[in-house]
Structure 1
């Protein structure tokens, strides 16, 4: 079963990935720096994330600690797959052309892209 986090769940996961493990209060305080989110909303979202298998909850202490069960890379791959299939109708090249055409890549990023593409060329 593929787990697809929502945008709000991804915001929470970003905090958990950064901190390793944290309480609902930790997540809420971090989210409150950039958006108006209620504590109970954050709590409810994290409970749903636990039910979906996105996070695990350690209930040994009075204050529950949450830890991500999905890696940043897994979430990125899921989101990218969805974007490629829906927005770009399955065309990876259209995605890359759009990204490079509208966002300035540094020399190091361009070199890394070239190196990655060479690996594909060499494997043919």
Structure 2
């Protein structure tokens, strides 16, 4: 099975695994499966198959030197998030960053600390432009 690395966007399950790998830097299928099993019921073979597909897509690399394969993220977290966000903004919000941000802030009740961080970020964007 051959995949075009540039064209593959992670599915929800793949993104969940990538998030764990970005956090852990590297992990076995068993370690990832144990983490996922804390929040939902899933079979070990399902986790294994998803990670094998992700390897074929180029989303993860693996060290095959020992009996237990160790997987590492092969995609950059920031670039992946940026790509997914751009796609979401284009398809769901007609390309409008304002609509996306307003919707995101309307769904949650940001803390005072989060609002201050958002203000600081906006101030920085204004200074840089």
Alignment of 1:43-122 (within 5 A): 43-122=48-127
Picking from 30, 36, 49, the partner of 1:31 is 36
Alignment partners' CA distance in 1, 2:114 and 2:29: 36
Unpaired runs of 5+ residues, structure 1, are none
Q: What count of residue pairs does the alignment treat as equivalent?
A: 124
- Once the two structures are superposed, residues 61-80 of structure 1 have per-residue CA deviations (whole angstroms, 9 ceiling, x without a partner) of 11110001113222221221
Q: Please report the RMSD computed on the Cα atoms of aligned residues, expressed in angstroms.
A: 1.5
Q: TM-score normalized by structure 1? A: 0.89
Q: CA deviation at 1:94?
A: 0.6
Alignment of 1:5-44 (within 5 A): 5-44=10-49
Alignment partners' CA distance in 1, 2:37 and 2:127: 48
Alignment partners' CA distance in 2, 1:31 and 1:41: 11
- Once the two structures are superposed, residues 3-46 of structure 1 have per-residue CA deviations (whole angstroms, 9 ceiling, x without a partner) of 41110001111222222211111111111111121111111111
Q: TM-score normalized by structure 2? A: 0.86
Alignment partners' CA distance in 2, 1:19 and 1:121: 35
Q: CA deviation at 1:118?
A: 1.9
